[in-house]
Amino acid sequence: AYYFELHHLSHIYADGTTALTDISLQIPRGKKIAILGHNGAGKSTLFQHLNGILKPTTGTISFQGNKLQYSSKALRTLRQQVGIVFQDADHQLFSGTVKQDIAYGPLNLGWSTEKIEEKIAWAVAQTEVENLLDKPIHFLSVGQKKRVAMAGVLAMEPSVLLLDEPTAGLDHYYATQVLQYLAKLEDGERTILLATHDIQLAYEWAEQIIVMEAGSIIYNGDPITLFYNE
């Protein structure tokens, strides 16, 4: 019952920076998992491996029991099931209207028009961006952009959702809103991984916490043990 299994995964960037060292990890279904670590710990690099954007330098990754393949067809299937929302929403939004942007992913999946409309309607309801659909992306606030980026990923109904610092740069009001709509996405099957350096957020939200430091996992377990048994 695992989505991902990582065996001895290491990643060295082209410039020689070692970002991940010997990561072995199993990611179960239906869990809320926080990845906690300072800037540079390797959280984003790990996420990019789970979505097939980066390839391990050494080691392997399996998704649902199958070793990841990096052909464009295999990657398309993977990315339909594993959605990533980048830390900087501008990184993944285009220049049209909110609706065009959210439709982009589903259109690429070759679904019928009705199915696409249905998934978009669901995604925009979850993220409460219904009233922004006709607005150009560049008129939106930071928080609105984050929600639109999230809606675009949700519209593809991913089994695994990778959220890189979803509350970073948001004030308390919007950070709380993000947490509220994340709660609506839990269905017992979907796994949400949330990368953050916010200890309080991780403690309050997660069922499982993975702590990373300098490219290694230094803790993987429940929040209570992490905070009270040190």
Q: How far is CA 211 from CA 33, 35, 77, 83, 180, in A?
A: 11, 6, 29, 22, 24
Regarding 19 and contact with ligand ADP (CB under 6 A), the answer is yes
Q: How many residues bind ligand ADP (CB under 6 A)?
A: 22
150 contacts 127 by C-beta, under 8 angstroms: yes
- Residue 73 or residue 172: which is nearer to ligand ADP going by CB? 172
Regarding 91 and contact with ligand ADP (CB under 6 A), the answer is no
Rounded Cα–Cα distance for residues 31 and 142 (Å): 27
- Residue 45 or residue 191: which is nearer to ligand ADP going by CB? 45
Regarding 143 and contact with ligand ADP (CB under 6 A), the answer is no
CA 72 to chain centroid, in Å, comes to: 20
Tokens (6 digits) for 105? 């992913």
- Residue 32 or residue 119: which is nearer to ligand ADP going by CB? 32
Footprint of ligand ADP on 41-60 (CB under 6 A): 41-45
Region at 175 (left for phi over 0; alpha for psi -120 to 50; beta for the rest): alpha
Residues 154-173, mask of contacts with ligand ADP (x by CB under 6 A): -------------x---xx-
- Residue 37 or residue 223: which is nearer to ligand ADP going by CB? 37
Rounded Cα–Cα distance for residues 124 and 79 (Å): 20
Q: Which of 176, 183, 189, 219 binds ligand ADP (CB under 6 A)?
A: 176
The SS3 assignment for 204 reads helix
Rounded Cα–Cα distance for residues 75 and 97 (Å): 26
- Residue 151 or residue 206: which is nearer to ligand ADP going by CB? 206
Cβ within 8 Å of residue 76, ≥6 positions away: 108, 109
Q: Which of 15, 134, 187, 230 binds ligand ADP (CB under 6 A)?
A: 15
Footprint of ligand ADP on 185-214 (CB under 6 A): 198, 200-201, 204
Q: Cβ 162 to ligand ADP, closest distance in Å?
A: 11
Q: Cβ 15 to ligand ADP, closest distance in Å?
A: 5
Tokens (6 digits) for 77? 């299937």
Rounded Cα–Cα distance for residues 63 and 65 (Å): 5
Q: Which of 23, 37, 116, 124 binds ligand ADP (CB under 6 A)?
A: 37
Q: Cβ 37 to ligand ADP, closest distance in Å?
A: 5
89 contacts 67 by C-beta, under 8 angstroms: no
Q: Which residues bind ligand ADP (CB under 6 A)?
A: 13, 15, 17, 19, 37, 39-45, 167, 171-172, 175-176, 179, 198, 200-201, 204
